[in-house]
Structures are given as structure tokens and as C-alpha cells.
Amino acid sequence: MTTTSPSPEPTTQADDPFALFEQWFGEAQASEPGDANAMALASVDMQGRPSVRMVLMKDHGPGGFTFYTNFDSRKGAELLADPEGALLFHWKSLRRQVRIEGPVTPVDDATADAYFATRPRDSQIGAWASDQSRPLGSREIFEARIAEAEARFAGGPVPRPPHWSGFRLMPRAMEFWLDRMFRLHERTRYQADGRGGWSSGLLFP
């Protein structure tokens, strides 16, 4: 008879926070009923007032965390004006959270073009039709703009709109939170040391 070893107890402590994120994200992809790559993105306006919304992470690793948006949207305008952001992943099925903070930079045109080409055609059309974050008089106006964009690109590929691209957040700090019984949670913060490495330490939960 063969026996299987129990799975190791999860922990927030690791030598490499990117490797730990990769492990947690893989487990979330297997367990989350929704989008495991959904993350809250926080930005601030010119008066320092914060705003937050959900976006989808499309790439991640030591080079940063990438997402795409309309640069004329509220989040796009805020990040272009003040290129600092914060992300939060909450995987309820695993009872875990990851917070990430750091500077944000636009991706290059080739990267944005390559990702845009992978999007469903209806999503590509929507990127042309939507003045994201702007007031909309009625749903019918939006539907008419969708029809106009469909007619404009009928029979051919849909190019990436000039106002649509991506941002990459390069972590300055990463914080991993793990639920424990009786609210005695485990929490570790990793801080970039400016030399390609990280310092880390536990925090009171």
C-alpha cells in the first residue's frame, strides 16, 4: 500500500516573493470559482484622493504586473499623471491576500499590439466604441457606436486604438496574508532593497 504525504502547511515566508506569488496564483487558478487574475487597482487623483477598481492581470513576474486599459479612462489618466499604484489580490477560496505597491509605467507599443490582437473581436470593437469613464446619455448611444465600429472594420482586422494600451506595475513592496484560526493570521512584507534583492519580515496581523 502506498501512502501520500500531506501537503505542506502554507506559509507567507519565502526567499523569493515572485516565486511565492507564482505558487499562490497557480493554486488560486485551480480553486477560485471566478477570475483568479482579478485584482483591485488603486490610484490617486491630482488632489491625492484615492480611487479603486477591479482589473485583470494579464502578465506577471520579476518584470512586473501588467494590465490593460483605456488611457483616457479615470484610472489611465490618474496613473499617467501620478505613476504610483497599488494592487490587491483576494483569493477567498484559499483565504489569502497579496498586496503589491510600486511605480507604474506604460508598456511599449509592440507589447500592447500583441496583446490587443489576442482579444476577442467584440472586445476589440468595444475598445473603439467606449469613451471609458465619460458620461453616457443612454445605452442606445453606446450600442450605436458599437455598430459604427463594426461597420468601420467589417471584413478586416481591428487595430489597437491609440488611446488603448497597458501599464506595468513594478513591485517596490509585496505583502502576503494568510488566514489563521481565531484571527491569528500570518503576514509577511517584502521590501525591494534596490539591488535586485528583497528584505522581509513578519508583521502583526
Catalytic positions, please?
183
Residue 165's beta-bridge partner residues? Answer: 69
Q: Which three cell numbers stand for residue 132?
A: 471609458
Q: Which three cell numbers stand for residue 87?
A: 494592487
Strand duo 38-44 + 64-70: pairing:
unpaired
DSSP 8-state code for residue 165: E
Helix (H, G, I), strand (E, B) or coil at 166: strand
Q: How far is CA 22 from CA 65, 98, 106, 171, in A?
A: 12, 11, 23, 14
3-state SS, one letter per residue, for 37-101: CEEEEEEECCCCCEEEEEEECCEEECCEEEEEEECCCHHHHHHHHCCEEEEEEEECCCCEEEEEE
